[in-house]
Amino acid sequence: MYFKSILVKYGEIGIKGKNRYLFEDALMDNIRFALQGIDAPFEVTKESGRILVTFEGTYDYEEAVSRLTKVFGIVHISPVVVLEDKSFDAIARTVGDYMEEYYGKPDFTFKVICKRADKHFPKTSMEAAADLGEYLLDRFDGLRVDVHKPEVGVHVEIRNCVYIYSVDIPGPGGMPVGTNGRATLLLSGGIDSPVAGYMIAKRGVKIDAVYFHAPPYTSERAKQKVVDLARIVSRYAGPIRLHVINFTEIQLAIYDKCPHEELTIIMRRYMMRIAQSIALDEKSMGLITGESIGQVASQTMQSLMATNAVCTLPVYRPLIGFDKNDIVDVSQKIGTYETSIEPFEDCCTIFVAKHPVTKPNVHAIERSEHHLADVIDEMVKRALDTQEIIECS
């Protein structure tokens, strides 16, 4: 069935007081961005607490729905029939045709829910609902009324036009990206970090990402995999700027000069420092990691404290209380899982000690880092200066 328009309903942002228009405008912009490249001209308009996307001519409906259901801030969308003729007969006929076309032979319980915003319309909402219900009962044998728990609620809204819909396709919820500032994601090729980015973006935060590349220990394909992951997350989070940092020199220096059981912690502290410095340049207000308590040696409470100690920006860890299974579930839902499990190694097993510390002491770590004092600043600067920027969308 052809729907010229799709009705977009949003939740939380409807209650944000005087800032509401900011959120609505951001959502409209994000919808426009998400629908870019769809094969028909379209218009995004705002009307009393909802957004209407109207397409001109034929378009790829499935694709449009798939894209809209990824835009944060949308609670659900409904394909809608828009009717300009507001006579009762025209409305009744159109509702009937809509039921027939969409459901074939309707065979379920239903209820008509009418909303009359246009007070010039001669019937009240209740009257219109009752009369339309009667019309549908006459026209379809399989329909039965159930006003308490209907299987299908047929919505008829009489405003400057008449809107008819009966289906809610769930959206992702959350807040429109861009309405809650900016944060910088430490993105690896694994399962967790893309999910972490997705979750923070869902709260309306614009995302940048940093990837630490260690050639020749990690391959070009590992890097490509991270770009692919950033692209998948960007379907929800909007365009992501990916900063690729060449980390080899720093890793080798740590390997040469620091105790091996502390390698991972020290490495992660430098990653945080570098990410923070990129974040500050990008006017980003926090760091995001995919850490979850106790998942690996570097994610114990002590280790998290040790890596956190080098950050002045807040570090957001949306997966902190998630089990691995829960994270995998989300990654499958958002479509990053298949890419995450491709077998290209990221920060190289070669640099993992056999028995890494699980309860690092911040002072001991700081003492070990002193061994790097004469070279590290220069190396960090070089890593930042030589960063490669890839815009992913």
Kindly list the residues in this chain that would bind another protein in the complex (CB under 8 A): 215-220, 252, 255-256, 260, 343, 345, 348-351, 353-354
Minimum distance from CB of 189 to another protein (Å)?
A: 11
Minimum distance from CB of 82 to another protein (Å)?
A: 48
Give 203 or 257: the residue with its C-beta nearer to another protein: 257
Minimum distance from CB of 386 to another protein (Å)?
A: 15
Minimum distance from CB of 15 to another protein (Å)?
A: 47
Minimum distance from CB of 249 to another protein (Å)?
A: 12
Q: What are phi and psi of 184, to 5 degrees?
A: -115, 125
Give 252 or 311: the residue with its C-beta nearer to another protein: 252
Q: Say if CB 222 and CB 345 are below 8 A apart.
A: yes
Q: Say if CB 231 and CB 393 are below 8 A apart.
A: yes
Minimum distance from CB of 256 to another protein (Å)?
A: 6
208 contact partners, CB below 8 Å, separation of at least 6:
182, 183, 184, 185, 240, 241, 242, 243, 278, 279, 282, 284
d(CA 387, CA 278): 10
Give 127 or 345: the residue with its C-beta nearer to another protein: 345
Give 102 or 255: the residue with its C-beta nearer to another protein: 255
For tokens 């958002």, name the residue: 334
Give 220 or 323: the residue with its C-beta nearer to another protein: 220
**b/e string for 200-215 if b means 16 or more Cβ within 10 A?**
bbbbbbbbbbbbbbbe
d(CA 177, CA 235): 11
287-288 and 42-47 strand pairing: unpaired
Give 103 or 255: the residue with its C-beta nearer to another protein: 255
299: which 2 tokens?
């994610």
For tokens 């007969």, name the residue: 89
